[in-house]
Structure 1
Amino acid sequence: MDRLYGLKSCLYYISFSLSFIGFILPIYALELGASVVEVGVLYSVFSLISIIIRPKIGNLLDRRGRKIGIFIGVALYCLVNFLFLIGRDFKYLFYTRVFQSIGASFLWISVDAMVSDISHSGNRSENFGAISQIIGRGDFVGCTIGFIIFFSSFFDEPFKVIFTIYFILSLIALYTCIFKVEETLHYKKDNKIENSKKKGKVTKFILISGFTFYVFSLVFPLYIIYLKEYITDNLYLIGLIFLPGEAFQLFLPKKFGRLADKYNRNNIVITGIFLLGILQFFMPFIKDYSGFIILYTLISLIFMLIDPAASGLVIDYVGDKKRGESYGLYSLAGGIGGVLGPLAGTYYYEHIGGETIFIIGGILLIFISGVIKYLLGNKIESKIFMK
C-alpha cells in the first residue's frame, strides 16, 4: 500500500500553477514597469518571510503533526491563485509573494517531514524523487494548459481564465488534503542514522546549504531576464524553454533518487553542483535560442538530479529525532541564502553586466562542490550504506 497516495494526489493538483507562476513572474513584473532590482525584491521577499516563520514551523509539525502544515500550505496556495486571478499591478504581486512564501514554508517542510517519516536510509531519496515526479506531472499539465490559453487568440483576458482553472484545481487539492492525506507523525524513526550523525557536521551542513542556496538564487531570477534581453523577447518562445525540463520531470526524479540511494547521496550532490558550475560558464557565450534552450534543459536536469539526494541528506546530517525541526533548519538556511541571492544577482546584473554574473556564479558553485567534499566528505554516508 502506498502510504503517500493521498499526499501525491494533493500535490498533483496544487502543482498545476507552480511553473507557470515561475515563468510569468519576472516577465509580468517587468511589463508592469518594475525594474530588474524590483524583480529581485519579489524573489527576496519570498525568502525573507520564510526566514521569519520557518524555524517555528518545524517545531509545530513535530508537536501537532504534518497534516496541519499541509492544510495551511495548500489553503494559502489557493489564496495565491485567487490573488493572481484578481490582481493586475505590482502591489498585488508583492502581497502574492508574501502569501506564497508562507504557504510554501508550511507545505514543503510538511511534505519533506512526511516523506522522511515513511522512509528509511535505503529508500529516502527515491521517495523524495517520487514526490518530485508527481509534482512534475502536475507542473507539466498545468504549464501546457497555461501556455495554450496564454498564447491563444480566443481569450480576451487569458490570465483570468488560467488562474480560474488553477484556483479550482487548488480547491480540489484542499479537499484531497482534508479527506485523503494520512498523518505520518507516529511512524517509527530510523535511529541508526541518528547514531551515525556527528554533531560537528550539523553546523557545517547548515552553513554550506545556506551558501549554496545563495549562489543558486544569485543567478536563478536572471535566466529569463537574460533570455528576454539578449536573445528573444517573444513570450511564446520564452515559455517553450520550460517544456523540455518539465517533460523529463515526468519520469526522471524517482530514478535519480534511486541512484542517490544506491551510489551515495554526498557524491551525487557534489557532482551535480560541480556540473552546474561548469554550465554557468557557457551562458555568456549563448546568443541563439536553440543554444539557450539546450543549456537551460541541462541545468534543469542537474537540479533534478541534486534535489532528491539533497533532501535525503538532511536527515543524515541534521538528525532523525525531530524531522520537522530538521527540515525547518534546512529550509531556514535556504531562506537566508534566498534573500541575499536575488538582490545581489539583480544588482550585479544591472551594474556589471548580464554576462559576468554567470561567470561569478559558476566559480562559486565549483568552489562549493570542493568545500562540501573537503568538510563533509563521505563518512556519514559510508556508515549508512554499510549497514
Structure 2
Amino acid sequence: MENQTISKQSQRNGLIVVTLAIFTDMLVYGLVVPILPGYALSLGVSQTAIGVLFGSYAIALFVATPIFGILSDKVGRKGPMLWGLLGLAGATLLYAFAKQFWMLVVARSLQGVSAAITWTAGFALLADLYPSQERGKVMGIALAGQSIGTLIGPTVGGWLYQIGGYQVPFLAATGLAIIDGLLRIFLIKNVPHEKSESVLSSLNLLKNRRLLIIVGVVIIGASIPCVLEPTLPLRLQKGMNVSSGVTGLLFAIPTLAYAISAPVIGSLSQRIGHYKAMTMGMILAAVCFPFIALSNSVWLVAIVLVFLGIGMGTAITPCLPEFAEISQKSGTNSFGASFSIYNTAYSIGMMIGPTLGGILTNYLGIVWSYSVVAIVILVYIIFFNIYNHHALKTA
C-alpha cells in the first residue's frame, strides 16, 4: 500500500483517533488505582487477592494481544478499534456495578483485552496511514497520549471518588469512552488496508532477528517504571520522610517527561537512526537508576526522575516505527502482528519489573537492587550493539 496516496485529512483523523484511544485506555487504567484496593477490601478479600486483581490486566493483555493483532491484519483496523471501545465501555460499567470480587477480576481482565485490541489495531492503523519517514513522529505523539492518560488517571479517579463516591469515576469514564467511540466511527473512514492472507506469514515475523533484538528493548523500557513502583515509595517515605502526596508527585515526573519528550524523540530518531536512539535511551536509563537510590534530596530524586523519563521515551519510542519498518520490509502486510509482538513484550516487562524489583530489593537493599538493574541494562546494550554492528557488516 502506498501511504502517499492517502489524504492528509485521513492521516490527521487517524492520528487523533489513535491518540485519544490510547489516552482513554490509560486514563481508565490509572483511574482505578486509588479506588479498587479499598473497594476490594470492603468485599472481604485479602491483599494477595488484590494483587491478583491488578495482575489480571497484564495477563489478559499478554494472552489477547497476539490473537487480535493477527485478526486486525485479516479484517482491517476499524472493526477491532470498535471492539476495543466496546470492551473498555463494558469494563468500566462492570466496575461501576460490581458487587462481588469476581466481577472486578472480570472487569480488569476485560480492560486488558480491550487494551490489546486498541493498541495493536491503533498503531497498525498509523503504520497503514503514514509513510516510514513520518512514523517516528506520529507514533511519538500517540505515546504522549499514553503518558498523559497514565499521569492524570489516578488524580481524576481520586477526585471523582471524593466528589461522588465509588460509581462516579467509572460512569464518567464510560461517557468518555462513548465520545471516543463516536470519533472512531466517524473519523476512521475509507482507510485502505492490504489484508494479510496467511496467519503463518504473520507468525514468520517471530523469525526476524532484528525484531527480536528490539523486543528486548521494549521489555526493558516497560519494566523500568514497574521496578520503581513497589520499591521507591518505601525508600522515599521511610528513608527520606517524604509524604504520600509528594511521593505521588515524584512518580508523575518521569511520566510527564516521557509525554513531553516522546514526539520530539520520535522525530529525532527518524533523523539519527532508531537503533542509535534506543541505545542512547537505555544508557541514560541505566545511569539514572543507581542515582535514584543514592540520592538523599527530594529535589535530586526529582531531577534524576526527569532524565529517567526521557531515557524511557528515547528507548521505547523508536521501537514502534522500527517494528513497522521490519514488517513492511518482510512483505507480509502484518502491521497488526508486529505491534502485537510489541504489546506482548510490553506486558512481559510489566510483569517482570515489579517482581524483579521486589525480590532484588528484599535481598540486596535498594542501592544494590537498582545497581543490578543498571548492570543488566548495560549488558544488554553491549549485546544489542554487537548484534547491530554484525548485522550491518553482513547486510
Q: Structures share a fold, TM > 0.5?
A: yes
Residue from 6, 12, 19 that aligns with 2:20: 12
| Cross-structure match for 1:368 | 380
How far apart, CA to CA, are the structure 1 residues paired with 2:36 and 2:208?
40
How far apart, CA to CA, are the structure 2 residues paired with 1:375 and 1:40?
38
Pair 1:205-2:205 in alignment? no
Matched residue of 1:186: which SS? Answer: coil
Structure with greater contact order relative to length (CA < 8 Å, sep ≥ 6): 1
Contact between 1:136 and 1:246, CA under 8 Å: does it hold in 2? Answer: yes
How far apart, CA to CA, are the structure 1 residues paired with 2:109 and 2:148?
26
User: Residues 219-253 of structure 1, C-alpha deviation per residue, up to 9 Å, x if partnerless?
Assistant: 53342333432223744323323544555456532
| Cross-structure match for 1:68 | 79
Give the AA of the match of 2:290: F
Deviation at 1:372, TM superposition (A): 1.2
Contact between 2:269 and 2:318, CA under 8 Å: does it hold in 1? Answer: yes
Deviation at 1:88, TM superposition (A): 8.2
Contact between 1:62 and 1:324, CA under 8 Å: does it hold in 2? Answer: yes
What fraction of aligned residue pairs are identical, expressed as a percent?
Answer: 17
Deviation at 1:271, TM superposition (A): 1.2
| Cross-structure match for 2:228 | 223
Contact between 2:29 and 2:153, CA under 8 Å: does it hold in 1? Answer: no
How far apart, CA to CA, are the structure 1 residues paired with 2:279 and 2:114?
30
Residue from 100, 116, 124 that aligns with 1:105: 116
Are the structure 2 counterparts of residues 131 and 48 from structure 1 closer, same or farther at C-alpha, using a change threshold of 3 Å? same
Are the structure 2 counterparts of residues 358 and 75 from structure 1 closer, same or farther at C-alpha, using a change threshold of 3 Å? farther
Are the structure 2 counterparts of residues 86 and 210 from structure 1 closer, same or farther at C-alpha, using a change threshold of 3 Å? farther
Deviation at 1:375, TM superposition (A): 1.0
Contact between 1:125 and 1:311, CA under 8 Å: does it hold in 2? Answer: yes
| Cross-structure match for 2:4 | none
Deviation at 1:309, TM superposition (A): 0.7
Deviation at 1:61, TM superposition (A): 1.0
Pair 1:329-2:341 in alignment? yes
Unaligned runs of 5+ in 2: 1-7, 197-203
How far apart, CA to CA, are the structure 2 residues paired with 1:50 and 1:246?
21
How far apart, CA to CA, are the structure 1 residues paired with 2:112 and 2:375?
29
Residue from 243, 251, 260 that aligns with 2:269: 260
Residue from 165, 169, 186 that aligns with 2:193: 186
Contact between 2:14 and 2:129, CA under 8 Å: does it hold in 1? Answer: no
Matched residue of 1:225: which SS? Answer: coil
| Cross-structure match for 1:294 | 303
Contact between 1:278 and 1:362, CA under 8 Å: does it hold in 2? Answer: yes
Matched residue of 2:84: which SS? Answer: helix
Residue from 160, 170, 182 that aligns with 1:163: 170
Contact between 2:215 and 2:345, CA under 8 Å: does it hold in 1? Answer: yes
Tell me whether 140-149 or 6-15 shows the greater mean CA deviation.
140-149
Are the structure 2 counterparts of residues 21 and 353 from structure 1 closer, same or farther at C-alpha, using a change threshold of 3 Å? farther
Contact between 2:92 and 2:173, CA under 8 Å: does it hold in 1? Answer: yes
Give the AA of the match of 1:292: V
Deviation at 1:285, TM superposition (A): 1.4
Tell me whether 371-380 or 60-69 shows the greater mean CA deviation.
371-380
Are the structure 2 counterparts of residues 4 and 316 from structure 1 closer, same or farther at C-alpha, using a change threshold of 3 Å? closer
Matched residue of 2:191: which SS? Answer: coil
Aligned-pair RMSD on alpha carbons? Answer: 3.8
Pair 1:271-2:280 in alignment? yes
Q: Give aligned pairs, total.
A: 370
Are the structure 2 counterparts of residues 53 and 201 from structure 1 closer, same or farther at C-alpha, using a change threshold of 3 Å? closer
Give the AA of the match of 1:18: M
How far apart, CA to CA, are the structure 2 residues paired with 1:30 and 1:345?
24
Deviation at 1:336, TM superposition (A): 4.1
How far apart, CA to CA, are the structure 2 residues paired with 1:132 and 1:254?
8
User: Residues 254-313 of structure 1, C-alpha deviation per residue, up to 9 Å, x if partnerless?
Assistant: 221111111101100011012111111122213443333333232222222233311011
Matched residue of 2:230: which SS? Answer: helix
